[in-house]
Structure 1
Amino acid sequence: MTLAPTPGQTVGPFFHYALPFQGGPELVSPGHPDRIRLHGTVFDGAGSPIPDALVEIWQPDGDGKVSQEHGSMRRDGFTFTGFGRVQTDRTGHYTVATVAPGPMSPGAAPFFSVCVFARGLLDRLLTRAYLPGDTEALASDALLNSLPEDRRATLIATAEDDGYRFDIHLQGEAETVFLDHGGR
């Protein structure tokens, strides 16, 4: 079977043929003592799950340190690189096994950097998934404070017993706030 090349005007769904890699959603091994789950569903503008999206996360470790290790796709069981990549399943759901990111400076709000690729997009979408709980840190975050109050909640994950849920809405009434990265 020969696959057609990806057209230049869209980022997906063709990336599923080359971008996923073994261990992509497993930033830490199953036995890691601080292992948590970050998961959610990617929705389109009509509120339907997107079964062929790709979600990447970048994050610091639990102490707030950004990895300086070479090879972000390294999965050797002990090197934490802070990078993960996962496809959504047929129900639009994604799951990443990782550790909760720590604040990168004292008093800062910890967050995951999230990148979304999906069919019909002309470019990737960038956002953040903040951890709930530290209301003081969230209230002092410059990015959150730059948003209208009613939009801030789209960037705050929901705590669960085994980690966090972060649903991503590409459009519509509950649209997630996306960041302008100027990289077009």
Structure 2
Amino acid sequence: MIAPNELGYLPETPSQTAGPYVHIGLIPRQAGFDIFDNNLGEAPVGPATKGERIRIEGRILDGSGTLVRDALVEIWQADSFGRYPHPADRQPGPRDEGFRGWARTGTDFETGLWSFETIRPGRVAGRHGHRRMAPHVNLWIVARGLNIGLSTRLYFEDEEAANAEDPVLRMIEPPARRRTLVARREMRGDVPAYVLDIHLQGENETVFFDV
């Protein structure tokens, strides 16, 4: 038998979208299956988490402007000190042991809205001595029709000075596209809410990152 690499090439592995069962496996409660005693990933914060409590939310739209009502959304963010709850984060300074930093949800089947109750992240030190990044939340999106997960970021419109210095935002050209990552501030009662609609295609397509 001749291995494919002996012929000088490797065949492409067939791709497959997330399919309709991603909710059952990853967010079963939303799919109507209360099968786990402890549902993983519904909120990154706990009672002892430090920092300003906020809400982030938005919708996901396809190229025609139609709501994607069955997407899964994950977030990964720093705590209020700008530290990630991961051993690879070796920055000096305090770390919030009461903050998990990661959460998972799905878009509402009726409204298409996704949301998280979290805290405003601190500024994270850039790599190789780069200036600190602006407060941001990393998002990862999967859904039927997407062959790979999409990675993007949410920045805050009331962090204008920090956003202007952010090394990742500054790499995006043309500059007008940077606005697709900046969430507008609204209020939900006494809690600030930052709203970011994610466009998969089209004139207002969100900036996605190859990570």
Could you state the TM-score of these two structures normalised by the residue count of structure 1? 0.82
* Cα deviation digits, residues 59-117 of structure 1 (max 9, x gap): 00111111138xxxxxxxx8311001001012211011110111013753110000000
The structure with more radius of gyration: 2
- Distance between the aligned counterparts of 1:115 and 1:67, measured in 2? 18
Equivalent residues in 2 for 1:108-119, closer than 5 Å: 108-119=133-144
Equivalent residues in 2 for 1:1-150, closer than 5 Å: 8-20=15-27, 22=39, 24-29=41-46, 34-68=52-86, 79-90=98-109, 91-105=111-125, 107-147=132-172, 148-150=174-176
SS of the residue 1:157 aligns to:
strand
* Cα deviation digits, residues 133-184 of structure 1 (max 9, x gap): 2322211222211211110000111112222111111111111000012xxx
SS of the residue 2:22 aligns to:
helix
- Distance between the aligned counterparts of 1:37 and 1:25, measured in 2? 13
| Residue matched to 2:8 | none
Displacement of 1:55 in angstroms is: 0.5
- Distance between the aligned counterparts of 2:150 and 2:59, measured in 1? 15
- Give, as a single letter, the amino acid of the residue that structure 2 aligns with 1:14: Y
SS of the residue 2:26 aligns to:
coil
- Stretches of structure 1 that go unaligned for 5 or more consecutive residues are 1-6, 70-77
SS of the residue 1:89 aligns to:
coil
The structure with higher relative contact order (CA 8 Å, sep 6+) is 1
Q: 1:156 aligns with which of 182, 190, 196?
A: 182
| Contact 2:108 2:114 (8 Å CA) reproduced | yes
Residues 138 and 34 of structure 1, relative CA distance in 2, 3 Å threshold: closer
SS of the residue 2:118 aligns to:
strand
Could you state the TM-score of these two structures normalised by the residue count of structure 2? 0.72
Residues 138 and 20 of structure 1, relative CA distance in 2, 3 Å threshold: same
- Distance between the aligned counterparts of 2:69 and 2:23, measured in 1? 11
CA RMSD of aligned residues (A): 2.2
| Residue matched to 1:176 | 206
Displacement of 1:13 in angstroms is: 3.2
- Stretches of structure 2 that go unaligned for 5 or more consecutive residues are 1-13, 29-38, 88-96, 126-130
Tell me the percent identity: 43
